[in-house]
A and B are shown apart, each in its own frame.
Chain A
Amino acid sequence: MYNIKPELLEARAADLPGMTGVRVPELFPDSPRPLAADSKEAVRKQIRDLTTRQIEEIDLSKIQAGDSVNILASHHGFSIYGGEAYAEMIRTIRDEVERRCRTTDIRLFAGVGLRFRETDEYIERFGLKEYFGGKAAGISPVDEGVPIQTEIGTLYGIKRAYNAKWIIHAHNNDIRELHYHRLIGRIFKPFAMSYATIETRSAYHQSMGPRAANFLPRAIYESRFVQEKFVCSFILQIAPTGIIGVNANNDLAKQDLALARLSLNWYGKLITLLGSIKECILVIDYPGPIPYTTAGGILFGNFLNANVDEFNLDIPFTAFTRYTDMLYTGKAVLSNKTPPPNPAIKALIINYCSKGYPSTFFAQQIPTMVIGAQADLLGTCEQNTTFMNYAIRINKLQKALQFAMQFSKTSHVLAFDGAVGGFNASQPLADALYELAPSISREVDETLMPLWCKQRGIVSLPVDPVGSMGQL
């Protein structure tokens, strides 16, 4: 219900003349090796094996026969590389809890972002309602709340998420909203998002500050209410190259630090490389909301901020967060205290995206063209009611690209089209990326990684890409 029909797409970015593929392992040979699978069934088998192995190391003794258990999940996991891996991790958790704890009262509640039917659609797509014997449902931030007393006062979770005796957190460590979480407590975030009502989520984006906001999920997690229910956490491990493995832990804080170290290793070089691009035209061509469209596993939202080092915690404001969005009314309320959106982006062409998620900020800041029927979708989007006031409609993708090249004077084109393990880019940009990669790699290893790790209290160690699968 959130996209135009694919048959309305007259062309795709990757098929445009002059586009080529750039593989992450060829840019950075020390990239982690992803799971390889020839079929959906093979993915499922590997994830089931990894999850089963991890759960054997976990203490489930709190859960007694007949106890109720809620597995808490989030929408985004179902959109990673087709979603089958995340769905299988959840199925396996369910089966192993039933087998080891002798309880059948196991439910799945999966939260959403800002599109409240999204998770219901995933549950249907992956047959999870049937798998959980009817006990699977999407939950949303407008659902009934439950008060949670925290160190900073009362916050509200979604009542149904916490209506069991025990909860199990089932999430992922995809870098995703680096511009929001800044890799501070990244895997805690659903406690103030997917499992929380609107005010807790709104406080995160409007009332706490760009780094401090990440304390909200931690405060909820540390509350007595949650601690009395929390059993363990399962994380689907994601890198720019693909799905790496599954990790489980009874201690979310320890797990978070260990995974943050891996994410710095896995994503640090790639995001720094993207930040070194001096000029380019972006083509969005993926059925996700604009800020959540991806290239090589990196969000458009992150690329918009790539002109500053988002990992560096000494920098308070990156170009795009909801704090800076508040300060742009078409023109900046303040012009000198926050960095501008990545000036390398000379034009934005939207060929295919979902509706939902407020994105007018982007069109206000970057020359934006929307192709064909996609313009009709954005023109009627409830969350972007003025978006098309700032964008122009063009009927053909190639015409839009020619126009963008003409006014921007660049031949660098990058597609945010959900490509896995690499990018679709124009040949000149691909050549530039290959040329820059070795020096970026050295800069990250020698200068940036030690800084990023120190800021987070993490011991900086090189990661063995082969041995990292599920092992922390």
Chain B
Amino acid sequence: MKTIHRVALVDEGICNGCGLCSRICPVLAINVAKIGEKKLAVVEADSCHACTICVTRCPQRAVTMAERRVPLETGIDVAYVSKDIEDICHAAHMYPDQIICYCHRVQAKEVVKAILDGAKTPEAIASKTGARTGCGVLCITGVIRLLAASGIELEKAPGYQWYGVKATIWDISKEIMQKYPQYYMAEDLEAINDIFP
């Protein structure tokens, strides 16, 4: 479980409504709306996970973080690992207990539970579990692999959040492995298969 103490805050005097923040937010908590005569970024406070990605990418430096009056609780508590969860993790070459999101220590079983509860996109999973709301980078393929193992085909992200890359060691052809032996791909496939299910 994750407790969120802060929330993104847009300075309306600086924001020019370019919308970059809405295209990179991993939980779709920012939209651009016309307010009066001006286009502005608007934060939906109940959705914001305080990852600060918008703060660090806003070209105008119009977004800062503010303390929440009441912290927001989020995350999924997996009381027991069902066979469905185990099977999906296995199909994705993962253990239910393994970490997917290094920042919030979100585990594979939590991501799968979110999927079984109806999350069908990386953004919905991020909102339910907190995965991808730290660095915003490292865990996206883990999430995509678990969605694929659940039989969910991704179409198109609302912005630049993801593109659906499926490069995994299990997809590399023998020809490529033989062509570039210095990268130890065949050996890593064996090592990975030995350590992951």
Contacts and interface: CB of A to CB of B under 8 A. Distances in A.
Interface of A: 114-117, 140-145, 147, 151-156, 184-185, 197-203, 205-212, 214-216, 218, 313, 316-317, 322-323, 325-329, 333-334, 337-338, 356-358, 360-361, 380, 382-386, 456-457
B81 interface: no
Contact of B145 (A144, A154, A207, A327): A207
Q: Which of A142, A205, A323, A337 counts the most chain B CB atoms within 10 A?
A: A142
Given A198-B162, A202-B137, A360 B168 contact: no
A382 B141 CA distance: 20
A337 B194 contact: yes
Contact of B52 (A360, A382, A456): A382
Contact of A201 (B137, B142, B187, B188): B137
Nearest to B57: A116
B104 A386 contact: yes
Contacts of A201: 137-138
A323 to B, nearest CB: 8
Given A326-B98, A326-B100, A383-B103, A211 B138 contact: no
A356 B140 CA distance: 18
B56 A358 contact: no
Given A140-B57, A152-B172, A326-B98, A386 B135 contact: no
A329 B176 contact: no
B133 to A, nearest CB: 8
Contacts of B100: 326
A316 B98 contact: no
A66 B100 CA distance: 47
Contacts, number: 192
A12 B57 CA distance: 33
A285 B133 CA distance: 28
A112 to B, nearest CB: 9
A147 B163 contact: yes
Given A184-B183, A209-B169, A211-B185, 4 more contacts: A154-B163, A199-B162, A212-B188, A386-B105
Contacts of B191: 209-210, 316-317
Contacts of B23: 144
Nearest to B136: A142
B171 interface: yes
Contacts of A153: 165-167, 171
A384 to B, nearest CB: 7
Interface string B149-189: 00000000000111111111101100010001011110111
10 contacts: A145-B163, A156-B165, A198-B140, A206-B139, A209-B169, A322-B102, A329-B97, A333-B98, A383-B135, A384-B103
Nearest to A207: B168
A317 B195 contact: yes
B103 A382 contact: yes
Closest 8 CB pairs of A and B: A209-B188, A358-B102, A199-B165, A316-B191, A212-B188, A116-B56, A211-B184, A207-B168
Q: Which of A144, A205, A333, A385 counts the most chain B CB atoms within 10 A?
A: A385
Nearest to B3: A385
A322 B98 CA distance: 11
Contacts of B184: 184, 209, 211-212, 313, 316
A24 to B, nearest CB: 29
B99 interface: yes
Interface in B41-65: 50-53, 55-57
Interface in B31-86: 50-53, 55-57
Contacts of B182: 184-185, 456-457
Contacts of A155: 165, 167
A212 B192 CA distance: 10
B104 to A, nearest CB: 5
A151 B176 contact: yes
A193 to B, nearest CB: 10
A424 to B, nearest CB: 30
Contacts of B56: 115-117, 140
A214 B160 CA distance: 24
A455 to B, nearest CB: 8
Given A198-B136, A198-B137, A317-B191, A218 B183 contact: yes
B99 A328 contact: yes
B134 A382 contact: yes
Given A383-B134, A385-B103, A199 B180 contact: no
A114 B56 CA distance: 10
Contact of A338 (B103, B140, B195): B195
